[in-house]
Structure 1
């Protein structure tokens, strides 16, 4: 009976097969049709998901390739430092031992032995702290060049929105990193500007090295002449001591007065004071040299090679030729020119930066989904008991209903597409930065012209001073000093014989001391100004000028 009732249409129990079943077969049919549609949707969603995964994999592979290529950039400033060292070697004949980072090995000089000029220049180029700081500018400029060629890092965002009542959350993201495209037209101009700055840094460091080498050379000459000045004062003291002994003999014989003896002894005391001053100045020069060598705390007991004889070569007279050579050879002028080019490159970059920023990427979105059906056994039994109670209240058969396990698919929608982010240049068209870059171009051009003017003045002044010092040194060495020496010999002989007064003898002695000192000073100045002239024209050597005519040139005349 129960089975027949169960098989009856409209009995409330459809298709009884020995187990508890769901009533209302029409609803089951609709559920079956809906399940078919869900299955088809699931298959379609699966195909879309596979296509999405393929697209994601391809784009990710492209990003990995770009990251690998862009990540191969290396920062190595040593080749650029070697270029600067080559320029120094071409102009000085001495190659600096430079490295980055700086080599802190012990210097090859012990600060006690004799210091030669070549060793001093090499040590200064290797150990000078100012030059060490300048050398780091090359490393910084090289790093800026590498940085200028790098793409901007892509950006990635992710957003989650929770569904009220539970279920799949809504996801929204730029699923692939978005990339700014303005680098495509900005990188060439950025690289060109950074390359110009790097070239300027290389030239600036080389010029700074030549400047320091010139300072060392001039200071070495001053040290040589300082040592010679100390010896000269000692010679003058020996001459005065000889005169004091002679005057003491005459004083004992009653042929000289106490006043005359006191005058001679005072002269000896003044020479002792002069000797002390010369020694103090010599020590100060040594300490300045130690600072240039990067050894400011070392002792000053060392010596330089004694002066073998000043070489007073003739200098060229053609100032225009020297200007032209300086314009071609001066590294600071070349550095200023590259600095102006860098400003021009930055101007072009700012003009390109006025274009709107453009960012390209891909975005995806997953729509929210309802809560999944509950398929746990305890939950299904409880649902069946509750449904039976409801059926009994409504007048139906109060049989419990246990729903079968049904994996009803949930439709999850994914959307994927490109994303473009474009700047709207409404308020800022970069006109201020363009105007600033244009002003910088004019500033760098004016600085270059000012440096050219300084170069011309420096060449003219150094040439004039070197020529004047050379003429004076030759005059004192070849004419005045021999005449004064003959006069002191005659005055000393006449004074000893009583034919000349003490005043005449003292004047002759003063002339000899002054002539010796002036000869030494002019020879020193001639060598120093020659070194400065070489610095002003960019290094190298000077072609000897024409021999002077027999007619003396007026003092203070130029070329």
Structure 2
């Protein structure tokens, strides 16, 4: 429907529209939202994030990474390198620019449209010019800006969640890599001992002081130890490369120095008090779900506001005709709600809102369950690691000391002593695994409280310390 009226009414309308546009225009922020993301990440990981927008930023980050890798790597250093250098995280941080651009765009009125018409008949020529503005778009700028502002806040939370997730994965990869290296070094020692035992058995068999059966047993243990060394070396390489990928390093930087053993267990453990409440306050995925529900509610209000009339243009019209004075006026164009009353748009918005409400409730339920599960894994793994450290390994050492005394007193032979040493292999490996599992469980607990949840905890099976080889 077009309504044209030749009245000098446009000037105050245009001035009011210009005032609204100028006051409603949004602008880009100085930091692009990165400061908020860095603050959220630092609060949860102790490390900040950095977005490399230029080659100069990348060069500074590379220098910092090289400086951090010049010393033996710790878990915190590995996380710091990953937050500086991981390209996947950098891609996630770039999403902030996309969300902010949408926010700025939502605060600006759509460009006006210009039309020009010329009619000629005989000696008469009629020219009509018009400039049209989207009035509905102008009136809904506050609503659209509010929606995009919340979407920008969600983008910040999602970027921080990705940074916290990366920090958690890097810590777990670090402990896996150190444990795999520790196991590989230990298996090298086992193979050296098995090699000496096999050589001694061979020489004794050659002079008739050792049976072929016993010699075959020693040779079999040596062969098995050699296979275990190859397997442990490969596992160490796999774990190291997983850490390298998360840290985003390549070339000479991959020659990072890992310690020979895992950190000692802490003196005290985290308390379970208020851990669910803390998760509800800190979990980034829960905050994202809440913001999404709020944003969807705002969008529902916009859909209702424009449900019947969502196209309305008004503007200036100028017409000139041969032999007649120029005519000025304004024109209003409306979309008539004859076939579509906007009910489907409103119904869709309502359905999306209820979807977001249920997702928020689901996120809260999952967060509470995950933090309880993570805490159980944390305490259990701590108790197991402490049990191996304080009970199993000392008992095995005591047994070895007693066997050495009997050997020195010539009550047992060298092969009985070596057979006892082999029974310690499983105990030591289990102790290393228990210590590694504790540090991984501690990392997953922090992720369950602060981030978007850790990996699902694995059910713990029974594992006997067992005898690795029969005694002679």
Question: Which aligned pairs between 1:110-121 and structure 2 lie closer than 5 A?
Answer: 110=66, 114-121=72-79
Give the aligned partner of residue 375 of structure 2. 463
1:362 to 301, 307, 316: 316
Q: Check 1:118–1:475 CA distance in 2 against 1; reply closer, same or farther (3 A cut).
A: closer
Q: Is the 8 A contact 1:227 1:306 kept in 2?
A: yes
1:142 to 70, 76, 100: 100
Give the aligned partner of residue 456 of structure 2. none
Give the aligned partner of residue 359 of structure 2. 447
Give the aligned partner of residue 226 of structure 1. 180
Give the aligned partner of residue 82 of structure 2. 124
2:62 is aligned with 1:107: yes
Q: Check 1:173–1:79 CA distance in 2 against 1; reply closer, same or farther (3 A cut).
A: closer
What secondary structure, in the 3-state scheme, does the structure 1 residue paired with 2:331 have? strand
Give the aligned partner of residue 400 of structure 2. 488
2:286 is aligned with 1:286: no
Q: Check 1:348–1:298 CA distance in 2 against 1; reply closer, same or farther (3 A cut).
A: farther
Alignment: residue pair count: 442
Q: Deviations over 1:132-186 (max 9, x none)?
A: 121122111111111111112212212111131x2x5112232xx2222112432
Q: Is the 8 A contact 1:74 1:146 kept in 2?
A: yes
Q: Is the 8 A contact 2:37 2:49 kept in 1?
A: no
2:127 is aligned with 1:171: yes
Q: Deviations over 1:374-420 (max 9, x none)?
A: xxxxxxxxxxxxxxxxxxxxxxxxxxxxxxxxxxxxxx233322322
Deviates more, 1:357-366 or 1:276-285: 357-366
Q: Deviations over 1:500-551 (max 9, x none)?
A: 5899656533321111111111011011101110111117xxxxxxxxxxxx
Displacement after TM superposition at 1:484 (Å):
1.3
Question: Which aligned pairs between 1:262-411 and structure 2 lie closer than 5 A?
Answer: 262-296=216-250, 300-307=254-261, 309-316=263-270, 318=272, 321-356=274-309, 357-369=311-323
What secondary structure, in the 3-state scheme, does the structure 1 residue paired with 2:183 have? helix
Q: Is the 8 A contact 2:272 2:375 kept in 1?
A: no
Deviates more, 1:449-458 or 1:527-536: 449-458
Displacement after TM superposition at 1:471 (Å):
1.4
What secondary structure, in the 3-state scheme, does the structure 1 residue paired with 2:129 have? strand
Deviates more, 1:74-83 or 1:219-228: 74-83
Give the aligned partner of residue 154 of structure 2. 200
CA separation in 2, counterparts of 1:349 and 1:142?
20
Displacement after TM superposition at 1:250 (Å):
4.7
1:86 to 29, 39, 43: 39
Give the aligned partner of residue 429 of structure 2. 517
Give the aligned partner of residue 508 of structure 1. 420
Deviates more, 1:190-199 or 1:412-421: 412-421
Across the aligned residues of Structure 1 and Structure 2, the Cα RMSD in angstroms comes to 3.1
Normalising to structure 2: TM-score of the pair? 0.84
Q: Check 1:497–1:259 CA distance in 2 against 1; reply closer, same or farther (3 A cut).
A: farther
Q: Deviations over 1:275-299 (max 9, x none)?
A: 1211111112222222112235667
Q: Is the 8 A contact 1:84 1:206 kept in 2?
A: yes
CA separation in 2, counterparts of 1:258 and 1:183?
94
Query: Which structure 1 residue ranges, 5 or more long, are not aligned?
Result: 1-51, 370-411, 540-554
CA separation in 1, counterparts of 2:351 and 2:170?
38
2:385 is aligned with 1:473: yes
Q: Check 1:503–1:347 CA distance in 2 against 1; reply closer, same or farther (3 A cut).
A: farther
Q: Check 1:67–1:468 CA distance in 2 against 1; reply closer, same or farther (3 A cut).
A: closer
CA separation in 2, counterparts of 1:447 and 1:313?
39
Q: Is the 8 A contact 1:148 1:187 kept in 2?
A: yes
Q: Is the 8 A contact 1:312 1:527 kept in 2?
A: no
CA separation in 2, counterparts of 1:76 and 1:449?
33
Q: Is the 8 A contact 1:81 1:98 kept in 2?
A: yes
Give the aligned partner of residue 530 of structure 1. 442
Displacement after TM superposition at 1:67 (Å):
9.9
2:109 is aligned with 1:151: yes
CA separation in 1, counterparts of 2:237 and 2:28?
44
Q: Check 1:134–1:101 CA distance in 2 against 1; reply closer, same or farther (3 A cut).
A: farther
Q: Is the 8 A contact 1:225 1:307 kept in 2?
A: yes
CA separation in 2, counterparts of 1:485 and 1:422?
89
CA separation in 2, counterparts of 1:523 and 1:431?
60
Q: Is the 8 A contact 1:70 1:151 kept in 2?
A: no
What secondary structure, in the 3-state scheme, does the structure 1 residue paired with 2:113 have? coil
Normalising to structure 1: TM-score of the pair? 0.72
Structure of higher CA gyration radius: 1
Displacement after TM superposition at 1:493 (Å):
5.3
Displacement after TM superposition at 1:254 (Å):
3.7
CA separation in 2, counterparts of 1:525 and 1:489?
29
Q: Is the 8 A contact 2:134 2:312 kept in 1?
A: yes
Q: Is the 8 A contact 1:260 1:502 kept in 2?
A: no
CA separation in 1, counterparts of 2:259 and 2:296?
48
Q: Check 1:71–1:480 CA distance in 2 against 1; reply closer, same or farther (3 A cut).
A: closer
Give the aligned partner of residue 13 of structure 1. none
